[in-house]
Structure 1
Amino acid sequence: MVVRGRMAAALGAVLVGAGLAVPAPAQAAVSRAQLALRWAPIHYQDVDTTGSHALGGRSDYLTRVDFDGDLNGRNNWDNAGRSGVSFAAHAYYSVVETASHWYITYLFFHPRDWIDHPFFESEHENDGEGLTLAIERDGSDYGVLRAAVTVAHGNFFSYTPAGSTWTSGRETVDGALRMQSSPHDAFPHPVTAQERGGHGLKAYPQYSINGDGVVYYPSTTAETPAHADDRDVRYALIDIFAPGGLWAQRGNDSLFAHLGTFAGDTSGGCGVGTFSCGTNSANAPWGWDDGNDLPARGEIATDPAALAAQYFTVPGALARSYTHNPYAAAATQLEEAAKTAPRVVD
């Protein structure tokens, strides 16, 4: 038994060192971090290298909100063009649980929402788009993926994978959620994609790579694209609720202009040669909102069971009470802020 335990520990060390997801031992509960890693998307990011605002493609690379070494949202546009800042790939996640489902939200961050022409479209500092997955708790370690809702600017889009029992509800399902095997672990993952520049996010191939692009794979390792057409880059996940993390910073007025909206200004050349530059124009998950739909601002992350009940017809039980919801501690604050916060269309 000691030898077998040592062999298992050695295998785990090898897998972690290779950036592979380590399966949970038999009968052991899967952690929320493992759950988020298992279902994290394989992500197709279109990249444009045209014009000075593209920074040779770096403006379309995924990174952290503190890629420049600080938590000041108002210098991210400026610092994205400086040498020495990090474009190591990361995404943020949170896990909310009911008795019947897990809901995993992922945030993909870019320091610039940019364009390369002077007509009609605006650009702005910071960009936060993402998605929420609904996973049925069926007794297996990782459950069964039933649906996704993605964020593309000020609109939500819903998808279901092949074989899902979920169908259209108040909102019509917008398409199929493809699955793809990863070369970095043993799991099939949902496949998502973001457009270049504005970074709206949908299920692949509703957005796809047109020319240059980066394909990001979930991992425990954060890699930086070698160039604008790198098709195998691993990204690491960051818990939104980590100590000192994104949620803990929600009252930091250097990072957030108001609850759920990143602070951003017009310094550093944002809007120069284009139609305009917006201020305070990007959202964290608790600020995501589709103004044409019934769920309130932020509920895609903070009350995803309510969103699921609106967007889909779900056979069987869909529990609405949470067994784990770290957003709930600030539920009243979020509800009050949602009533007065200006609507931000990212």
Structure 2
Amino acid sequence: MLKRSTVAAVATAALVAVGLAVPSPAAAAPTRAQLALRWAPIHHQDVDATGSHALGGRADYITRVDFDGDLNGRNNWDRAGQPGTSMAAAVYYSVAETSSHWYITYFFFHPRDWVDHPFFETEHENDGEGIMFAIERDGSEYGVLRGAVSVAHTNFYSYTPSGSTWTTGRETVDGTLNFATSPHDSFSHPVTAQEARGHGLKAHPQYAINGDGIIYYPSTVSETPSDGNDRDVRYQLIDIFAPGGLWAERDNTSLFAHLGTFAGDTSGGCGSGTFGCGTNSANAPWGWDDGDDLPGRGEITTNPAKLSVEYFTIPGGVSRSYTYNPYSSAAAALSAAAKTAPRVVD
């Protein structure tokens, strides 16, 4: 009697002989961390080194919320200027899933939102802007990116890549989301950019480096720019829902003044020589809001399928039922609190 392994080998040879493909073991689905790394943007950060509040350009570096070693939002302006304080690059992310799409939010943090003149504009401690990518689960390993919505202060801007099937919905598509190849992996990544000082975020080149600037690349390691004109700096991706992470600290009153809004005060010279300094003036992703649009406060991150349907016309629609959404357990509380939370003007 032939052994089972011999029978299998004979059967395989017979299939090959008649030209039939031999089924391969199914590839493991990517983890959420792998999805986030695959679609993370190549990020252009404009840098302004003028004025004392610029810290020689360091005030425009992206970094961790706890870059200074603690989770006190009211000392970040002050600590950003202290010698030896780390400005290692980091970007936060969260993933939500339906049967039809993945939605990945990326959050960019700066310790200062600053100005270098005394007229009209205010500055404030902490700054949080970002972007949400909607990725169709088309059967390929990582899917295909169909649309994006970015946060620039209190306004949202929508984009589609060339060839996307998504088009203008209730909101007009504001431009094309371009791609570039990273020297640190084999993928083509979307390209985003932030302005200096106020750090509004849009698709590149709607914002672009003007003179000095940093180009950040997604990675699993965190590097610190050599100066304000470093064109190859890797940033580390950090899961918002990691144990002890940003979401776990959402009720920490040293870090957050109220739902999704970072605590910040006027200490350390914020507002000195300028029009003024705002307090409690920056948002985490679950606090982002474009008050002129239908989606509620935070829904760009907490209910991205709903926001996508509002912003885009989508052939075939999208599933509105989440198979994974770590914000869902707190959705009712978030919705109720959002109705009474003060609107933050970033």
| TM-score bucket (shorter structure) | over 0.9
> Quick one: distance in 2 between partners of 1:249 and 1:206?
33
1:45 maps to what in 2?
45
Displacement, 1:316?
1.2
| 2:146 matches 1:137 | no
What amino acid does structure 1 have at the position aligned with 2:322?
Answer: Y
1:16 maps to what in 2?
none
Q: Deviations over 1:170-222 (max 9, x none)?
A: 00000000000000000000000000000000000000000000000001110
Aligned residues of 1:123 and 1:271 also touching (Cα < 8 A) = yes
Aligned residues of 1:89 and 1:224 also touching (Cα < 8 A) = yes
Q: Which moved more, 1:26-35 or 1:97-106?
A: 26-35
2:211 maps to what in 1?
211
Say how many residue pairs are matched.
322
Displacement, 1:317?
3.6
1:123 maps to what in 2?
123
1:320 maps to what in 2?
320
1:264 maps to what in 2?
264
> Quick one: distance in 2 between partners of 1:151 and 1:317?
24
1:286 maps to what in 2?
286
* SS state at 2:238 partner: strand
Aligned residues of 1:299 and 1:307 also touching (Cα < 8 A) = yes
Aligned residues of 1:260 and 1:284 also touching (Cα < 8 A) = yes
Aligned residues of 2:309 and 2:317 also touching (Cα < 8 A) = no
* SS state at 2:59 partner: helix
> Quick one: distance in 2 between partners of 1:227 and 1:335?
42
1:235 maps to what in 2?
235
> Quick one: distance in 2 between partners of 1:326 and 1:188?
28
2:182 maps to what in 1?
182
Q: Which structure 2 residue ranges, 5 or more long, are not aligned? A: 1-24
Moved over 6 A (4+): none
Give the TM-score, by structure 2 length: 0.92
* SS state at 1:209 partner: coil
* SS state at 2:199 partner: coil
Aligned residues of 1:100 and 1:317 also touching (Cα < 8 A) = no
Q: Within 5 Å, which residues of 2 pair with 1:1-346?
A: 27-346=27-346
Q: Deviations over 1:230-252 (max 9, x none)?
A: 00000010000000000000000
> Quick one: distance in 1 between partners of 2:329 and 2:320?
17
What amino acid does structure 2 have at the position aligned with 1:258?
Answer: H
What amino acid does structure 1 have at the position aligned with 2:270?
Answer: C
Q: Which structure 1 residue ranges, 5 or more long, are not aligned? A: 1-24
> Quick one: distance in 1 between partners of 2:270 and 2:326?
35
Q: Deviations over 1:271-294 (max 9, x none)?
A: 000000000000000000000000
Aligned residues of 2:44 and 2:194 also touching (Cα < 8 A) = yes
> Quick one: distance in 2 between partners of 1:146 and 1:296?
22
> Quick one: distance in 1 between partners of 2:148 and 2:184?
23
What amino acid does structure 2 have at the position aligned with 1:232?
Answer: D
Aligned residues of 2:43 and 2:191 also touching (Cα < 8 A) = yes
What amino acid does structure 1 have at the position aligned with 2:172?
Answer: T
Aligned residues of 2:262 and 2:283 also touching (Cα < 8 A) = yes
* SS state at 1:56 partner: helix
* SS state at 1:87 partner: coil
Displacement, 1:84?
1.7
Displacement, 1:74?
0.2
Aligned residues of 2:259 and 2:337 also touching (Cα < 8 A) = yes
> Quick one: distance in 1 between partners of 2:125 and 2:341?
19
Could you say what the CA RMSD is over the residues aligned between the two structures, in angstroms? 0.8
> Quick one: distance in 1 between partners of 2:274 and 2:26?
56
Displacement, 1:29?
1.3
What amino acid does structure 2 have at the position aligned with 1:163?
Answer: G
* SS state at 1:331 partner: helix
> Quick one: distance in 2 between partners of 1:117 and 1:85?
26
Displacement, 1:26?
6.2
Displacement, 1:127?
0.1
The 3 A distance-change label for structure 1 pair 99 and 56 is same
